Amino acid sequence: MVSQNPDKPLTESGRLRQSVTRLQRQTEQLSRILELSQQLTSTLELQPLLQEIIRAAAELTDTEAASIMLYDENAGELRFAAITNVAQEQLTRIRVPIEGSVAGVIWKTGQPMLVTDAYRDPRHYDGTDQATRFQTRNILGVPLAYKDRNIGVLEALNKCGDEPFTEEDTRLLCALASQAAVAIQNAQLVGALQQAYQKLNQLDTLKSDFIAIASHELRTPLAIVLGYASMLKDTTSGPTADQLEVVVQAALRLRGLIEEMVNLSHLDAGETVLELAAFPIQELVFTVCTEVDSLATAKGQTISLHVPPDPLPIKADRSQITIVLNNLLTNAIKFTAPGGRIAVSAEQHGSEAWIAVTDSGIGIPASDLERIFEPFYQVEPHMNRRHGGLGLGLSIARGLIGLHSGRIWAESVVGKGSRFTFTLPTSQ
C-alpha cells in the first residue's frame, strides 16, 4: 500500500475518508465513555469505584497508569485515593501538598494540565514516585469537579510508547472526570449514610442496654423503699401517716415508670412471651375501667362503656392486653381537661374485635399520629411539658398488639379529642 505523503494536499475523497474515520473513532470513544459512565454510576462502593475509574482513565488515554487524589477538607490537602498497582494501605500514607504539586495547581485552577517532562518540571512533586517506586515521565491531569467544587484530581501517567498526549486525550479524560466526580460523590454519600446508620444502630443498642440495666437496678431499691414506707404508714397515724402516704404514692408512680421500661426492654429483646387464653373482652374492659375510674373521677371526667350484650370472646394474653388498655385509658384521662368525656367501646368486625378509647381531650396534630407510637416520642416538647410520663406507653401498646397479630392506630382532631383503636383476633 502506498502511504499518503503528508505534504501533498488531500483530494476531496481523501478528506472525506479522513473525516469519516475521525467521526467513527469519536463515536466509538463516546459510546465507550457512555458505557463507562453507566458502570461508574452503578458502583456505589467507593474503593471498587475508584479502581474502575483509574482503569478507565488509563484505557482511554492509552497510558501506563492513572491516579486519583481527593481533597480532604479536614486536613486541607490532597490525598491519594487510588493509583494503578499500588495497594490501598500504602496510599493513605502519601499526601500531596497543594503548593508545589501539579495536582495542587489543577485542583486550585480547575483547569486540565499537561506535563511533558516530569523529571525536569519544577511543578512536579516527586514525593509520590519515591513512595510508590513508580517513575512518572509525563502527566495529563484534570480536575474532578462536582457542582462548582473541585473534589479532587484525576491524572493519567506515562503515555504508552512515549507518544505526546493529544487534545483528544484531554477531552476524553475531562469527560470521564465529570462522570467520575458524580459517581465518587454518590459513593461517598452512600458511605456516609451507611456509617450514620451503623452509628444509629449502635446508639439504639446502647439505649436498649441502658434501659434494661437501669430498670433492673432501680427495681430492687424501690421495692425496699415502697415496702418500708407502706409498713411505716400502716403503723403510724396523724400527719406522719399522711406524709408517708405521699412517699408511697410517689414510689408507686416510680414503680409504674420502671415497669414501662422493663416492658419495653423485654419487647425490644424479643423476650415477651404471650400466654394466650380465650375470654370475653367485656371482662377485661370492665376490670381496667374500674381500676382507672378513681383517676377519672378525681378530674371530674366520666367513662362510658359501649360493649355488646353478648360475650365477645378474644384470644389474647390477658395481662398484656390489660397493659395496653390501661395505657390508652390513662392517656385519655391525662390529656383530657377536667369534666371531659371518655368512652370505651368493643365491637366485632369479622374475625376481629375492635376495641376503641375515645376522649374529648386536647387532640393530636395529624403529623404526630404515627410518631407517637415511637419510643420516647411525646407531642409536647420535653422542656415545657405539663404532663408526666416517659413516652413509652404507646410504643409498648403497639409492640404488644403486634405480638397478637393485631393493629393499633390513632385518629384525632386537635382541640376536639382523639380515638385509639386496636384489633385482636376473636377466639371463634
Residues that bind ligand ADP (CB under 6 A): 327, 331-332, 335, 359, 361-362, 364, 372, 378-380, 389-395, 418
DSSP string, 248-297: HHHHHHHHHHHHHHHHHHHHHTT------EEEEHHHHHHHHHHHHHHHHH
SS3 52: helix
Closest CB to ligand ADP: residue number: 389
Nearer to ligand ADP by Cβ, of 174 and 356: the residue is: 356
Rg (CA), the chain: 37
Alpha carbon 24 to chain centroid distance?
Answer: 48
DSSP string, 76-140: TEEEEEEETT--HHHHTT-EE-STTSHHHHHHHH---EEES-TTT-TT--THHHHHHT-----EE
The distance of closest approach from Cβ of residue 327 to ligand ADP in the complex, given in angstroms and rounded to an integer, is: 6
Nearer to ligand ADP by Cβ, of 176 and 372: the residue is: 372
The distance of closest approach from Cβ of residue 266 to ligand ADP in the complex, given in angstroms and rounded to an integer, is: 16
Q: Which residues, listed in sequence order, are joined to residue 315 by a DSSP beta bridge?
A: 278
The distance of closest approach from Cβ of residue 359 to ligand ADP in the complex, given in angstroms and rounded to an integer, is: 5
Cell digits for 365?
396534630
Nearer to ligand ADP by Cβ, of 256 and 308: the residue is: 256
The distance of closest approach from Cβ of residue 279 to ligand ADP in the complex, given in angstroms and rounded to an integer, is: 25
Cell digits for 415?
382541640
Nearer to ligand ADP by Cβ, of 229 and 394: the residue is: 394
Provide the edge-to-edge strand list for the sheet that holds 302-306: 302-306, 341-349, 352-359, 417-425, 408-413
The distance of closest approach from Cβ of residue 392 to ligand ADP in the complex, given in angstroms and rounded to an integer, is: 6
The distance of closest approach from Cβ of residue 372 to ligand ADP in the complex, given in angstroms and rounded to an integer, is: 4
Nearer to ligand ADP by Cβ, of 86 and 258: the residue is: 258
Nearer to ligand ADP by Cβ, of 317 and 359: the residue is: 359
